[in-house]
Amino acid sequence: MKPRKRKMTLFLTILMSVVIGLALILTFIPMHIGTLNYLSFAGNLQYANDLKGGMYAQYQFKNGTSAEDIEKTVSEIRSVLSEKGYYSPFVAQVGNGVRIEIGNTTTHDYKGTDKLLDAIDVGLFELRTGTEESKKFIDGREHITDVKLGSSGSQTYVQISFNEEGLVKYKETMNSSVTVYVYMGGNLQTSFAGSSAVYDDMYLTFANYAEAEDFAMKVKLGSFIPVDFNTEETRINTMSSPYSTASLTADVNSGAYGKSNVFVGMTIVMSFLVVLAMALAIVRYRAIGVANLLSMALSTCVAIFLMQALPWIELSISSLFVMLLGFVIMFYGAYAYASNVQSEFHEGKTLTASLESGYKKSLLPNTFVLVAGLVVAVLFAFFGSGAIRTGAIISLIFMLASAFNNLCLLPWFVGIYYGYNNNKPAYYGLKGGNKNEIQ
């Protein structure tokens, strides 16, 4: 490693200072400039439900619900939520019921989420020719196959499709002299004058799109969810982020309730370990420790930029441990480099030779760890799904960031510092060895 000329070293120092400064600002500092609202790279990251507040709903089954019907219920609820733009909700059987947790949308639209959750236990959809249950001629679960929302000109309509049995009953019953009553969960919703069935599907028109959309959603829920809920035991409320110290709900079953201190404590411990490792590296390895701090700062900015650029990545609690593993690999790279430099120096080599051979000897273990990590991450990303795939992609990003850090940035920053101090081994945490530097 030959020392650079002082002017070149000064130029690189100024250049990298500007680069690191801009990277940190763009990554972590939101800005408001006129009408421009810049969130920062970190502010643009997406979070899974276990890391953000939102709303929850708890529904209890009536007695006699089969395991098959419960599975269908969970699947149908997920499908409806996905249609409404909630792509990663928590939906699962909890005890004798179903629990849903939905993270905040970017607009924090509690009203829309509450309306959707409130409709899930709407109950069985029925069409009757009178108010008595015996007047029922369409049962949503037995006769309806599809519900669609559409528009024609200025009108918005809901299109209801029937199976063969339902179509026969629909055509036999509908005529101009009948009044049709719409029931959901045994409660009268609305009624309208009947007319002879011209089409195989039933078309209901509405004054505006919002009303039609709401009705279509309830018909679908009341037809395709195969179970009945005990509406008196339904609970819907807001829930706080696990990193919030002010819970928004008193629901003890919430995955976020009462655990804020645990999650905050975990984050503090993880952050403390990273800071402690950096501090010990600086104390023990001096210039190499400082170079590692700078290179990790820039590598972290690159990793955050890549994560926020991929819209399907949502950070979860498990993702935090994956990121911590990425930092461990970065530290390992710096340790492998520094320990090999120290070993070479103790064997009697000069500072220059120690830095060169130490870097070369650290390439093999660093490359092995990085390649192994990349292979595992790619396999999990390809064959996994859901949170496993997301964690694998985050791991892949941090493996690439670690390679950038350990193989490029770290020796680069050490080289810049070497341009200022190329004959003082103590500045690199080196003691003993060959103090005579041959240029």
Tell me the mean pLDDT per 10 residues along the chain, length 439: 78 94 94 83 82 84 87 92 81 89 69 88 93 94 94 87 94 86 92 84 89 91 93 86 51 47 72 89 92 95 93 82 90 93 91 92 92 91 82 92 93 91 86 57
Q: Which residues contact 421 (CB under 8 A, 6 or more apart)?
A: 287, 427
Q: Per the structure, how many domains does the chain have?
A: 2
Does residue 247 lie within any of the structural domains? Answer: no
Nearest to 48 by CA among 396, 376, 322, 401: 322
36 and 58 both lie in a single domain: no
What does the alpha-carbon distance between residue 7 and residue 13 come to, in Å, rounded to a whole number? 10
39 and 60 both lie in a single domain: no
201 and 66 both lie in a single domain: yes
The alpha carbon dihedral of 257, 42, 386, 69 has a sign of positive
What does the alpha-carbon distance between residue 228 and residue 226 come to, in Å, rounded to a whole number? 7
178 and 208 both lie in a single domain: yes
Which of 207, 239, 271 is the last residue in one of the domains?
239
* pLDDT value at residue 361: 94
- Distance, C-alpha 274 to centroid of its chain: 23
* pLDDT value at residue 64: 76
Does residue 248 lie within any of the structural domains? Answer: no
The two structure tokens encoding residue 262: 């645990």
Does residue 233 lie within any of the structural domains? Answer: yes
Q: Which residues contact 14 (CB under 8 A, 6 or more apart)?
A: none
What does the alpha-carbon distance between residue 105 and residue 103 come to, in Å, rounded to a whole number? 6
Does residue 79 lie within any of the structural domains? Answer: yes
What does the alpha-carbon distance between residue 217 and residue 155 come to, in Å, rounded to a whole number? 18
Q: Give the angle subtended at the CA of 15 by the CAs of 10 and 16, to the nearest 5°.
A: 100
The two structure tokens encoding residue 35: 């009408």
Most distant CA pair in the chain, distance: 109
Which of 212, 239, 266 is the last residue in one of the domains?
239
320 and 221 both lie in a single domain: no
86 and 226 both lie in a single domain: yes
* pLDDT value at residue 249: 44
275 and 142 both lie in a single domain: no
211 and 151 both lie in a single domain: yes
* Phi and psi torsions of 188, nearest 5°: -70, 125
Look up the CATH number of the domain holding residue 398.
Answer: 1.20.1640.10
The alpha carbon dihedral of 357, 362, 365, 369 has a sign of negative
Does residue 58 lie within any of the structural domains? Answer: yes
- Contact indicator for 348, 357 with CB cutoff of 8 Å: no
331 and 205 both lie in a single domain: no
Does residue 437 lie within any of the structural domains? Answer: no
- Contact indicator for 47, 314 with CB cutoff of 8 Å: yes
* pLDDT value at residue 159: 94
Q: Which domain holds residue 60?
A: 52-239
The two structure tokens encoding residue 6: 């002082």
317 and 422 both lie in a single domain: yes
* pLDDT value at residue 294: 95
296 and 161 both lie in a single domain: no
- Contact indicator for 159, 201 with CB cutoff of 8 Å: yes
* pLDDT value at residue 307: 93
- Contact indicator for 429, 342 with CB cutoff of 8 Å: yes
Side by side, the strands of the sheet bearing 144-152 are: 144-152, 155-162, 202-206
162 and 295 both lie in a single domain: no
Does residue 167 lie within any of the structural domains? Answer: yes
Which of 239, 270, 293 is the last residue in one of the domains?
239
* pLDDT value at residue 265: 73
* pLDDT value at residue 258: 45
Does residue 252 lie within any of the structural domains? Answer: no
